[in-house]
Amino acid sequence: MTVTRQTVSRLDYTPPAFLVDRVDLTFELDEHNTLVTSRLVIKRNPAASAVADAPLVLDGEALVLESVKLDGRVLGPHEYELNDRQLCIGGIADEVILEIATRTDPARNTSLMGLYVSNGNFFTQCEAEGFRKITYYLDRPDVMAKFTTTLIADKAKYPVLLSNGNRVGEGQLDKNRHWVKWVDPFRKPAYLFALVAGKLVSLTDKHVTGSGRTVSLEIYVEPGNLDKCPHAMASIHKSMQWDEARFGLEYDLDTYMIVAVSDFNMGAMENKGLNIFNTKYVLAKPETATDADFDGIESVVAHEYFHNWTGNRVTCRDWFQLSLKEGLTVYRDQEFSSDVGSRAVQRIQNVRALREHQFAEDAGPQAHPVRPDAYQEINNFYTWTVYEKGAEVVRMYATLLGREGFRKGMDLYFKRHDGQAVTCDDFRAAMADANGADLEQFALWYSQAGTPLLDVAGAYDATARTYTLSVRQSCPATPGQADKQPFHIPLAVALLGSDGTPLPLSLAGGHDTDAATSRVLQLRQAEEHFVFTGLNERPVPSLLRDFSAPVRLRYPYTDEELTFLMANDDDAFARWEAANSYAMRLLRDGYASGQRGEAVHVPPGYLAAAGRLLEDETLDPALVALMLELPSEQYLFEALDDVDPALLSKVRIEVLQTLARELRGPLLATYQRLNDGAPYRFDAAAVARRSLKNVCLAILGERQGPVVSELLINQYRRADNMTDRLAALKALANSEHPEEYLADFAQTWQDDALVMDKWFSIQATSRRAGVLSRVQALMGHPAFSIRNPNKVRALIGAFCQQNLQHFHALDGYGYAFAADRVIELDRLNPQIAARLAACFNRWPKLEPVRRALMKGELERIAASAGLSSDTHEIVSKALQQ
């Protein structure tokens, strides 16, 4: 059975022929045979008058239909049409009541979409199109209804029964069963429906909103995990306070629930009042979770909570508008993290991730606009572009309109659209109208794919005392979009004088009198010139400050100018960027030397600048850590052509080894200074110190003599927290005899699934010989399961996406292994299979031998029988390059 789907096109949107006013659902929960009865109050949509007698077409998948009743009368099989995707009923009055009974087998549902079982408990996942696996319905986001849900289940096995909204009743039934009824007072699309049933325990707390309402906060986890919930609970409090203070948005129900589940396709889901989370984004204590895990939890909790307004109260008209809620909510969670933590660190980390993943996506076969025009499978569009580039697009409104202007736009957006399903254009209109701004050209950020490139040149005229910045913008062709129009781009700039201070900026012809030292230039044309006046010396330009737009920028800095910016720029992002550019330059040069068979050379200027960073104790250790970290292999890969990944890896290691040798003294001194033996604390200062300490350790770990080995072993043994222990284990895993430490780690943490994920990843990303056989052997480990997405990501995903050297082994076994896993997973969980298949996207960038090998594996996947539409879409686009 091939389930290849038709392409869905954005411009084909039509309003639904019917609307649903009310949904009353009853679930009789049983692992293998759950009965779902749905009573729908359905009305013809007055706004869709063109189709006055259209039949009612309901979506449904993998359901067994028991009965259909129309206005109380059971329909015979000739009174409707049924296929494996739809239930179609003709001759319907303007308002009807439809009652549908269906059965499903949740225990056999390995797709983790719809209703499924995880560790004996029931969960649902309905976004984007999972509700149709629960019952026949108008499963599209512009159909918003009021839901009530009654859950019936065995009381001993499923003591906790949860759904959206408020709990309004409960009681006992025969056969040891009980029931609970939930009412959600807010209209919502079906993708926000959720239920949970099982043996769970909860941590509870209260939040009093600014207007004085009390909200009960409840986090549900499997027994034994309550000690890992306080950080998530603290994150809820912070998120609620922040959204009230920054956007004036309060929570709107009496209860806010989070439930953690270990089998989950993504990070978390914002179902109304009942968010369901991957355990990875809930459970944490210092012994088991790293600082990065703690940060991840804080931001995902915030993200899902913020969706209550940006996503739920105002939702998407259709799935092409996904970034309306996701880009905006990512922007909001990034701003939250910046306000409660370090803004500079947050920005640099976000930009680093955007460039590594989204820029690559935008340059590859799946490049698509923030608002895509077509899809075969919507699950494939939960992408870096829709989320992270979408967040950058929202950030640009704030950059162009200012913080207050942005807030005005948000207020107008909610005023106009609360309770509606709307489009990205509606959001843009609210921003424009609230500020009287012209955002017509800005619309191109939603419709054009590809990463714009800014070529910048600077010219100083000593006689006229002017400095002219010339900016040319272009955007590469992407699939289906050969020619691009110029974007409206905010470009933040400053000019630094020779003493390192930013100079007052006045633009020729400008009427500004305040001599600001930083300003946002607005680019609208393919080429523009900005003349700054009154400058007594040739300045060094600081460009794209705070990464003011999601673009690439080229400016011919000298090495000296880069070290000058590293030391002086008052914009933390630009300062980090100077270090990053310098490191990129030396890695590319190193790669070129490697290709000529020459040794890799690290320029003394770079070593000196890095040494000064280590020695300056007045600097924020977190920023120093970020500046010292070399660009990743993946990022470097994107910057090269005809890539030999083995050489790339080797060159990067040689650079690290050179740093370890040449900066040994300062690295050791910094390590010792920060390794103060103080007991673990999770606060910004302590996290910053650990980050620099462990960056030093990682670099030193590239040359493991007796002194460094002892440091590693001591840190591994003595650490009172997972951040330090894992940092040591990572370096030890590349040493000659890691077995003792890996065994000790597994022994200690064998019962903690999330910690075992780290153990799998460390081995999958190790550089030692024989990693692939190790990965294959680990697939048989009792803690591994191919059905669990976290395990697949930790072991298989880590090997295919983060182990350049071994995944790209010249014998092609790495590729064959990945293809086998894609085919195996496709039968179980198409979403996860499709994500893994994307590891083949960049085959045209490889040198010819590997290019052919990888393409061969893609062809093998494409030819395998019964491929899902998810994997089919990814693989066929990858082959079309």
Question: What residues are annotated to the active site?
Answer: 304
Q: Which among ligand TRP, Zn ion, none contacts residue 143 (Cβ within 5 to 8 A by kind)?
A: none
Binding mask 353-392 for ligand TRP (x = CB under 6 A): -----------------------------x----------
Position 394: which residue type? V
CA distance 742 to 799: 17
Region 319-348 residues binding Zn ion, contact defined as CB under 5 A: 326, 329
- Of 268 and 651, which CB lies nearer to ligand TRP in the complex structure? 268
Is position 127 an interface residue for ligand TRP (rule: CB under 6 A)? yes
Q: What contacts 781, CB < 8 A, 6 or more positions away?
A: 760
Q: Compute the least distance from the CB of residue 668 to ligand TRP, in Å.
A: 43
- 614-650 in b/e form (b: 16+ CB < 10 A) is beeeeebbbbbbbbbbbbebbbbbbebeebbbbbbbb
Query: Near ligand TRP by CB under 6 A, which window of 121-129, 287-295, 645-653, 707-715?
Result: 121-129
- Of 112 and 586, which CB lies nearer to Zn ion in the complex structure? 112
Total Cβ atoms within 10 A of residue 156: 10
Query: Near ligand TRP by CB under 6 A, which window of 57-65, 267-275, 676-684, 821-829?
Result: 267-275
Binding mask 300-319 for ligand TRP (x = CB under 6 A): ---xx---------------
Which residue of 111, 135, 235, 265 would you call a contact of ligand TRP, by CB under 6 A? Answer: 265
Q: Compute the least distance from the CB of residue 687 to ligand TRP, in Å.
A: 24
Which residue of 92, 151, 153, 269 would you call a contact of ligand TRP, by CB under 6 A? Answer: 269
- Of 125 and 766, which CB lies nearer to ligand TRP in the complex structure? 125
- Of 326 and 702, which CB lies nearer to Zn ion in the complex structure? 326
- Of 326 and 569, which CB lies nearer to ligand TRP in the complex structure? 326
Is position 628 an interface residue for ligand TRP (rule: CB under 6 A)? no
Residue 289, burial from CB neighbour count under 10 angstroms (0-12, 13-18, 19+): buried
Q: Compute the least distance from the CB of residue 303 to Zn ion, in Å.
A: 6
Q: Which among ligand TRP, Zn ion, none contacts residue 269 (Cβ within 5 to 8 A by kind)?
A: ligand TRP
Q: Which among Zn ion, ligand TRP, none contacts residue 268 (Cβ within 5 to 8 A by kind)?
A: ligand TRP
Binding mask 444-473 for ligand TRP (x = CB under 6 A): ------------------------------
Q: Compute the least distance from the CB of residue 132 to ligand TRP, in Å.
A: 14
Is position 36 an interface residue for ligand TRP (rule: CB under 6 A)? no
- In angstroms, the first-to-last Cα distance of the chain is 27
Please give the C-alpha separations between residue 823 and each of 61, 820, 837, 876, in angstroms, as whole numbers: 22, 5, 9, 14
Collapsing DSSP to helix, strand or coil, 176 comes out as coil
CB 323 within 8 A of CB 516: no
- Of 125 and 763, which CB lies nearer to ligand TRP in the complex structure? 125
CA angle 422, 425, 428 (to 5 degrees): 110
Is position 555 an interface residue for ligand TRP (rule: CB under 6 A)? no
Please give the C-alpha separations between residue 131 and each of 134, 193, 795, 858, in angstroms, as whole numbers: 5, 8, 30, 32
Q: Compute the least distance from the CB of residue 330 to Zn ion, in Å.
A: 7
- Of 128 and 867, which CB lies nearer to ligand TRP in the complex structure? 128
Query: Near ligand TRP by CB under 6 A, which window of 124-132, 207-215, 239-247, 393-401?
Result: 124-132
Q: Among all residues, whose Cβ is closest to ligand TRP? A: 266
> For the chain, what's the residue count?
881
Total residues at interface with Zn ion (CB under 5 A): 2
| Beta bridge pairs of residue 101 | 37, 67
- Of 270 and 702, which CB lies nearer to ligand TRP in the complex structure? 270
Position 85: which residue type? R
Q: Which among Zn ion, ligand TRP, none contacts residue 125 (Cβ within 5 to 8 A by kind)?
A: ligand TRP
Position 529: which residue type? H
Secondary structure letter of residue 189 according to DSSP? -
Q: Compute the least distance from the CB of residue 405 to Zn ion, in Å.
A: 25
Binding mask 73-112 for ligand TRP (x = CB under 6 A): ----------------------------------------
Binding mask 807-846 for ligand TRP (x = CB under 6 A): ----------------------------------------
Residue 348, burial from CB neighbour count under 10 angstroms (0-12, 13-18, 19+): buried
Is position 125 an interface residue for ligand TRP (rule: CB under 6 A)? yes
- Of 424 and 523, which CB lies nearer to ligand TRP in the complex structure? 424
Collapsing DSSP to helix, strand or coil, 206 comes out as strand
Tokens of residue 768, six digits:
């030692």
Collapsing DSSP to helix, strand or coil, 73 comes out as strand
Q: Which among Zn ion, ligand TRP, none contacts residue 349 (Cβ within 5 to 8 A by kind)?
A: none
Q: What is the DSSP string of 578-597?
A: HHHHHHHHHHHHHHHHHHTT
Q: What contacts 744, CB < 8 A, 6 or more positions away?
A: none
Q: Compute the least distance from the CB of residue 249 to ligand TRP, in Å.
A: 17
Q: Compute the least distance from the CB of residue 265 to ligand TRP, in Å.
A: 4
Query: Near ligand TRP by CB under 6 A, which window of 46-54, 102-110, 125-133, 332-340?
Result: 125-133
CB 252 within 8 A of CB 107: no
CB 555 within 8 A of CB 355: no
| Beta bridge pairs of residue 685 | none
Which residue of 233, 236, 268, 719 would you call a contact of ligand TRP, by CB under 6 A? Answer: 268
Q: Compute the least distance from the CB of residue 130 to ligand TRP, in Å.
A: 7
Q: Which among ligand TRP, Zn ion, none contacts residue 823 (Cβ within 5 to 8 A by kind)?
A: none
Tokens of residue 587, six digits:
């890695």
Q: What contacts 166, CB < 8 A, 6 or more positions away?
A: 182, 183, 184, 185, 253, 254, 255, 273
Position 543: which residue type? L
CA angle 139, 141, 143 (to 5 degrees): 75
Query: What's phi and psi for 444, nearest 5 deg?
Result: -65, -25
CA atoms within 13 A on the CB side of 844: 9
- Of 141 and 590, which CB lies nearer to ligand TRP in the complex structure? 141
Secondary structure letter of residue 846 according to DSSP? B
Position 833: which residue type? A
CB 538 within 8 A of CB 460: yes
Query: Near ligand TRP by CB under 6 A, which window of 120-128, 509-517, 713-721, 746-754?
Result: 120-128
In the sheet with 81-82, reading across from the earlier edge strand, the strands are: 56-59, 86-89, 81-82
**Which residue is associated with the tokens 């009573």?**
39
Strands 255-261 and 214-221 come out as parallel
- Of 383 and 399, which CB lies nearer to ligand TRP in the complex structure? 383
CA distance 759 to 326: 31
Is position 270 an interface residue for ligand TRP (rule: CB under 6 A)? yes
- Candidates 724, 735, 733; CA nearest to 696 is 724
Q: Which among ligand TRP, Zn ion, none contacts residue 555 (Cβ within 5 to 8 A by kind)?
A: none
CA distance 333 to 335: 5
- Of 381 and 815, which CB lies nearer to ligand TRP in the complex structure? 381
Q: Compute the least distance from the CB of residue 274 to Zn ion, in Å.
A: 15
Region 319-338 residues binding ligand TRP, contact defined as CB under 6 A: 326
Q: Compute the least distance from the CB of residue 546 to ligand TRP, in Å.
A: 25
Residue 11, burial from CB neighbour count under 10 angstroms (0-12, 13-18, 19+): exposed
- Of 42 and 391, which CB lies nearer to Zn ion in the complex structure? 391
Which residue of 143, 266, 401, 832 would you call a contact of ligand TRP, by CB under 6 A? Answer: 266
| Beta bridge pairs of residue 83 | none
User: Which residues here bind ligand TRP, judged by CB under 6 A?
Assistant: 125, 127-128, 264-266, 268-270, 303-304, 326, 382
Q: In the complex, which residues of this chain contact Zn ion (CB under 5 A)?
A: 326, 329
